[in-house]
A and B are shown apart, each in its own frame.
Chain A
Amino acid sequence: MAGDSAGAAVPTTILDRWYRLYGVIGFMPMLLLVFIILLALFVPHFLALQNIFNVLRSSSYLVIMAAGQMLVLIVGGFDLSVGAVVALTSVTSSLVMVGLKSSLGDYPGIIIFFGVAAGLGSGLAVGLVNGLCVAYLRVAPFMVTLGTMSIATGIAQLLTSGIPVYGMPVSFVDGFGRGLWLRLPTAVYLAVGIVVLVWIMQNFTRMGRYIYAIGGNYQAATVSGVPTRLYLIGAYVICSLLASVSGLALTAQIGSGQAVISSQLTLESIAAAVIAGVSLKGGVGRVELVALAAVFLLILTNAMDLLKIDPRIQTIFLGIIVVLAVALDEIAKRKTRLV
């Protein structure tokens, strides 16, 4: 009887083995793989080169945003303002570029530099407001970001009166936004680069460790000497900046500044993170899985488009997937026992 300890029990059934695999690599890669195989077999044109291109490009924007959203979720927060930041970035960067055209028309590089700076600047501002309010005023992240979302959207619409801003430098639109490097859209490289950077940050730097610690147990992080407020603000700022980067890439691809660029982006970024197993309670989340989840969401949408499924039914379907992902995650958690 003495040897009958919990540690001695080795999982033997196939189900148990799958569960362990799930524990190690997560649910996301497996789901994605199964999905791609199914789609390749049954959906016409899915494997067409042009289609794969489109999916990769459009998922890049979401991957970048979701990586930022994930960081905020890990510190136990929530950022509803990312979609509005994309719109604000699009408007400010395009307005600056168009405004400088008359005086600096001969130097597109400088124009682009200022445009990008303006875009990132607006992201930085929103991120700072979010972070400061959460860290110092202790306002619920939900309320703060709901407020900044409204503010950013309002400013973007005021600045443009709802009219798209045209006239950005050709090299920004055709060279960057619609350009190809080694036959792949530039946005894909941007997204991969950002995911790699965030991955390094999460696994090999203090900042990554602290972000996990803050979300895992704020009090413990504080008494361990982690400058919790600083990193809390840092997470919100990075999230907004990444939304800005995404907004710049999107603006370049569309070729105009838009105040109503996409209202779905915020929800999709949260959905991608949650599907990838990022806990809404904080402390858990890996960027590589979030990136895969974002690609997965876009593949799903793409497949439904190809199958000519009504967009309204598509949104219902997306909702079901998100709820399922969260439920599965909870069940998995309950399976783990104490030693």
Chain B
Amino acid sequence: MYVNEAKGDDASRAAPAARDDATLLLQLTNISKRFPGVVALDGVDFDLRRGEVHVLFGENGAGKSTLINIIAGTYPPDTGSFKFEGKDITQLTPHAARVIGISPVFQEFSLVPMLTVEQNLFLGRELTTGGLLNRPAMHAKAKAIIQELGFDLDPDRKVQELSRAHQQMAEIAKAFLTDVRLLILDEPTASLTETEAARLFELVAKLKNAGVGIIYVSHRMREIKQIADRITVLRDGHKVATVNAGDVTETELVELMTGRKIGVLFPEIECRPGATLLSVEHLTLSNGSVKDMSFYARAGEITGIAGLVGCGKSEAIRAIFGLEAIAEGTIQVDGELVTRPRPASMLRRGVCYFPSDRVAEGLALARPVRENASMAALDLPAFARRSVLQRRSERRAVQKIVDRLNLRPPHIERAVANFSGGNRQKVLLARGLTRDISVFLFDEPTVGIDVGAKVEVYELMKELAEAGAAIVLVSSELPEVMSLSHRLYVMHRSHLVAELTGDDINEPEVLSHFFREHAATPAAALMQG
């Protein structure tokens, strides 16, 4: 072999290979990971070069977060090989990952609420002298990093006292503390203003030039176009494709992601607005997450509320259902004033809320579908007479609803824990159908469920709206809330900033409201300081 080294064609063939080896930072081959009841990743290949931004693209539940968690060492893959800088890595722990230069910025923050920003930054790698913490040194370094990042963040504040945007900044700062070789950013701009996001992109560019590999998870097309070198699309735990960012259009990307032509995903819903069933005036919540919000929802219409995570849109509909403390404002259901909303009384008035966090707030996982579905209707004669359960009629009623929702498998005595995300959502929806509900409050109804189940949820909304129900849809997924809503409200930092109808419901228009006033924010901060 080596004798022939001087030969021109051999040398030229060897060169790119050597170059590849040198530029390849991370190489994952045939990675699989299953969790009880789900295959999160199935034979996925992924590689990352030095100085590259590689975007991971896919729907919620496609396996993006499982993949980045495996890279960050949170849990080991079941099968497959993991090579970092050419070396085989096994038994990776979060600590070992940080030591070799893998810094993750998670969307689910890895912050301890009771500790200060500075304490969180250094968590797991405190600076010590003689066995004791070197607090002055850590303080100085924390200050320096926050300054370099250009964040308006006080290192002495406790994380639990920070807004979501500031927590996001702390999370990002945490990744920059050590010598980074591979940076993972999981939707880092979800709660940043445009200026802050721009600042972050500058940093990303700087790191790129320094040869750091960056894995970037995002749904935002604009961002992806701006910073991506390559894009890997995941769907239902499989890798669909890896493409060069310059070679694809937005539409192609979305089609790769959903596995179907767009347009088919969202049904055409007829809009026949009727009476105003829900009207809210000057709503302000005790915790300040919603301020002076007025809106209404009409029968036969889908009313959307869009906004960034943490803008107060979820809190608003939770308050209507009596789950958040209201400081001021009035709520009218079907023309009747509701002074103190409580879930029980709102259900009786025909208002039902579907929580986004189905496990924490929606379902009793260990109990069967039947009990979960009828939970909110046990005061009706069909389910209980004088506090004695009518089990047979309960079974019949629930089975009927479950069949209509296409629950798979349609076994109503099976524990909810044994169903997948999409089917769990159907069980939750079944709860709203057990009684006469005219106002449906959906809070992120398609988070964490697969495309097929999404379509079914949308079909159900269509059915309900066309049958004359008022639907309020709160969603952080822009395409969803834009395509389904007949009327769309946009929230920004606790305030309702726009009401859009018809052709005004388009991405640039909505985004301009998402980020409005951001120019005024630094000025306000200065005045405070």
Q: CB within 8 Å of B: which residues of A?
A: 2-3, 5-8, 200, 203-206, 209, 212-213, 215-217, 219-227, 283-284, 336-339
- Assuming the A-B contacts A220-B112, A226-B123, are A338 and B287 also in contact, with contact meaning beta carbons closer than 8 angstroms in the complex? yes
- Flag whether B483 is at the interface (Cβ < 8 A): no
Contact with A along B263-289 (1 / 0, CB 8 A): 000000000000000000000000111
CA–CA, A224 and B93, complex, Å: 10
B288–A337 CB distance below 8 A: yes
Give every chain A residue within 8 A of B524 (Cβ-Cβ): 2-3, 5
CA–CA, A172 and B103, complex, Å: 55
Give every chain A residue within 8 A of B467 (Cβ-Cβ): none
Closest chain B residue to A279 by CB distance? B114
CA–CA, A6 and B527, complex, Å: 12
Give every chain B residue within 8 A of A203 (Cβ-Cβ): 133
Give every chain B residue within 8 A of A337 (Cβ-Cβ): 287-288
Give every chain A residue within 8 A of B289 (Cβ-Cβ): 338
CA–CA, A5 and B288, complex, Å: 11
- 13 inter-chain pairs at a CB distance below 8 angstroms, sorted by A residue, are A5-B527, A205-B133, A206-B133, A209-B115, A212-B119, A213-B112, A213-B115, A216-B112, A216-B113, A216-B115, A220-B110, A225-B93, A337-B288
The stretch of B32-40, B57-65, B158-166, B335-343 that contacts the partner chain: B158-166
Give every chain B residue within 8 A of A224 (Cβ-Cβ): 94, 110, 120, 123-124, 174
In the complex, the 3 A-B pairs of residues with the closest C-beta atoms, listed nearest first: A225-B95, A225-B124, A216-B112
Measured CB to CB, the closest approach of chain B to A78, in angstroms, equals 18
Give every chain B residue within 8 A of A205 (Cβ-Cβ): 128, 131-133
- Flag whether B72 is at the interface (Cβ < 8 A): yes
Name the contact of A338 in the complex, choosing from B128, B161, B174 (C-beta under 8 A).
Answer: B161
A225–B520 CB distance below 8 A: no
CA–CA, A220 and B98, complex, Å: 14
Closest chain B residue to A8 by CB distance? B528
Name the contact of A222 in the complex, choosing from B94, B126, B528 (C-beta under 8 A).
Answer: B94
Measured CB to CB, the closest approach of chain B to A163, in angstroms, equals 46
- Assuming the A-B contacts A223-B106, A337-B287, A338-B161, are A206 and B112 also in contact, with contact meaning beta carbons closer than 8 angstroms in the complex? no
CA–CA, A277 and B528, complex, Å: 32
Which residues between 478 and 529 of chain B lie within 8 Å of chain A, taking CB atoms? 520, 523-524, 527-528
Given contacts A205-B128, A226-B123, 13 further A-B contacts (CB under 8 A): A2-B520, A3-B527, A5-B527, A5-B528, A6-B288, A8-B528, A204-B133, A205-B131, A209-B119, A223-B104, A225-B97, A336-B161, A339-B162
Closest chain A residue to B529 by CB distance? A7
Closest chain B residue to A204 by CB distance? B132
Give every chain B residue within 8 A of A227 (Cβ-Cβ): 95
Measured CB to CB, the closest approach of chain A to B527, in angstroms, equals 5
B287–A217 CB distance below 8 A: no
Q: Which of B72, B112, B126, B174 has the most CB of A within 10 A?
A: B112
Give every chain A residue within 8 A of B99 (Cβ-Cβ): 225
Name the contact of B288 in the complex, choosing from A216, A221, A338 (C-beta under 8 A).
Answer: A338
CA–CA, A209 and B520, complex, Å: 38
Which residues between 115 and 137 of chain B lie within 8 Å of chain A, taking CB atoms? 115, 119-120, 123-126, 128, 131-133, 135
Q: Which of A2, A216, A224 has the most CB of B within 10 A?
A: A224
Which residues between 57 and 115 of chain B lie within 8 Å of chain A, taking CB atoms? 72, 74, 93-99, 104, 106, 108-115
Give every chain A residue within 8 A of B135 (Cβ-Cβ): 204
Measured CB to CB, the closest approach of chain A to B170, in angstroms, equals 11
CA–CA, A30 and B97, complex, Å: 47
B111–A220 CB distance below 8 A: yes
Give every chain B residue within 8 A of A219 (Cβ-Cβ): 108, 110
Closest chain B residue to A208 by CB distance? B133
Give every chain A residue within 8 A of B95 (Cβ-Cβ): 225-227
Closest chain B residue to A217 by CB distance? B112
- Assuming the A-B contacts A3-B527, A213-B115, A283-B113, are A223 and B163 also in contact, with contact meaning beta carbons closer than 8 angstroms in the complex? no
Measured CB to CB, the closest approach of chain A to B524, in angstroms, equals 6
CA–CA, A336 and B99, complex, Å: 37
CA–CA, A106 and B132, complex, Å: 42
Measured CB to CB, the closest approach of chain A to B138, in angstroms, equals 10
Closest chain B residue to A226 by CB distance? B124
Measured CB to CB, the closest approach of chain A to B9, in angstroms, equals 48
A223–B115 CB distance below 8 A: no
A217–B166 CB distance below 8 A: no
B94–A206 CB distance below 8 A: no
Measured CB to CB, the closest approach of chain A to B95, in angstroms, equals 3
A209–B528 CB distance below 8 A: no
A209–B94 CB distance below 8 A: no
Measured CB to CB, the closest approach of chain A to B226, in angstroms, equals 28
Which residues between 139 and 164 of chain B lie within 8 Å of chain A, taking CB atoms? 157, 160-163
Give every chain A residue within 8 A of B106 (Cβ-Cβ): 223
Measured CB to CB, the closest approach of chain A to B519, in angstroms, equals 12
Give every chain A residue within 8 A of B126 (Cβ-Cβ): 206, 209
CA–CA, A213 and B112, complex, Å: 6
Measured CB to CB, the closest approach of chain A to B177, in angstroms, equals 11
Measured CB to CB, the closest approach of chain A to B227, in angstroms, equals 24
Give every chain B residue within 8 A of A216 (Cβ-Cβ): 112-115
CA–CA, A8 and B524, complex, Å: 11
Closest chain B residue to A333 by CB distance? B160
Give every chain B residue within 8 A of A217 (Cβ-Cβ): 110-113
Measured CB to CB, the closest approach of chain A to B263, in angstroms, equals 39
- Assuming the A-B contacts A223-B110, A225-B124, are A7 and B288 also in contact, with contact meaning beta carbons closer than 8 angstroms in the complex? no
CA–CA, A338 and B159, complex, Å: 10
Give every chain A residue within 8 A of B74 (Cβ-Cβ): 222-223
Give every chain A residue within 8 A of B109 (Cβ-Cβ): 220
B112–A223 CB distance below 8 A: no
- Assuming the A-B contacts A205-B132, A336-B161, A338-B163, are A283 and B112 also in contact, with contact meaning beta carbons closer than 8 angstroms in the complex? yes
B128–A221 CB distance below 8 A: no
Give every chain A residue within 8 A of B133 (Cβ-Cβ): 203-206, 209
Give every chain B residue within 8 A of A226 (Cβ-Cβ): 95, 123-124
A221–B161 CB distance below 8 A: no
Give every chain B residue within 8 A of A221 (Cβ-Cβ): 112, 123-124
A212–B287 CB distance below 8 A: no
Q: Which of A7, A8, A206, A219 has the most CB of B within 10 A?
A: A206
Closest chain A residue to B99 by CB distance? A225
CA–CA, A204 and B241, complex, Å: 50
Give every chain B residue within 8 A of A284 (Cβ-Cβ): 114
Measured CB to CB, the closest approach of chain A to B73, in angstroms, equals 8
